[in-house]
Structure 1
Amino acid sequence: MKTQRRVSAAVVALLLGGAGIATSASPALAAETTYKVKCVPPAGGGDPVEGETTAKVTAPASAKVGDEVDVVWETVKPASNNTDLMDIPKDAVQPTGWIALSGGMGELKVVGEKKNPPIAKKAPMVMSAMKGKLKLTKAGKITLTPGKYDVAVSFSFGTFVTKCAPQGNVAAGATIDVSAGSGNGGTTNGGATNGGTTNGGTNNGGTTAGSGGQTDFPGKAVEVAFDCGPVVPGGIKTPVTINAKKKGGGYDLTVKTAKGAMAAPMALPAGALKPSMNVKLGGADTGAVKVSGPANAEPIPDKAPVSLSDMTGTYTPGKTGKVTLSPDQLTIDVTMAPGAAPINVPCKATSSGVSLELDTTAQQGGSGSPSSTGNTSAGASSGNLAETGAEDEGGIKALALIAGTVVLLGGAVFTFTPWRRLRGTR
Structure 2
Amino acid sequence: MLGGAGMLLAASPAQAADVSYATECIPPPISGLPPVQGTTQVQVTAPAEAKVGDTVEVVWKTVQAASKNPDMIDLEKDTVKPTGTLKVGGAATGTVQMEGPRQNPPIPKNSAMVLPEMKGTLKLEKAGEITLTPDAYSINVSKPLSTDTKCTPKAAVQPGATIKVTEGGGSTTGGTTTAGGTTSGSTAAGGTTSGSTASGGSTSGSTSGSTASGGSASGSASGSGGGSGQTDFPGKEVAVRFTCTSPGPADIGSKVTVNAKKSGGSYALTVKTAKGVMDSPADLPAGALKPSMDVALGGSDKGSVKVTGPANTEPLKLGKPVDLADMTGTYKPGASGKSTLSPGTLTIDVTLGGQKLSIPCKVKGSAAVSLELDTTAQEGGATGSAASGSGASGAAAGGTASGGGLAATGAEDTGTLRALGLVAGTAILLGGAVFTFTPWRRLRGTR
Instruction: Calculate the TM-score normalised by the size of structure 1.
Output: 0.50
Q: More relative contact order in 1 or in 2 (CA 8 Å, sep 6+)?
A: 2
Structure (1 or 2) with the greater strand fraction: 1
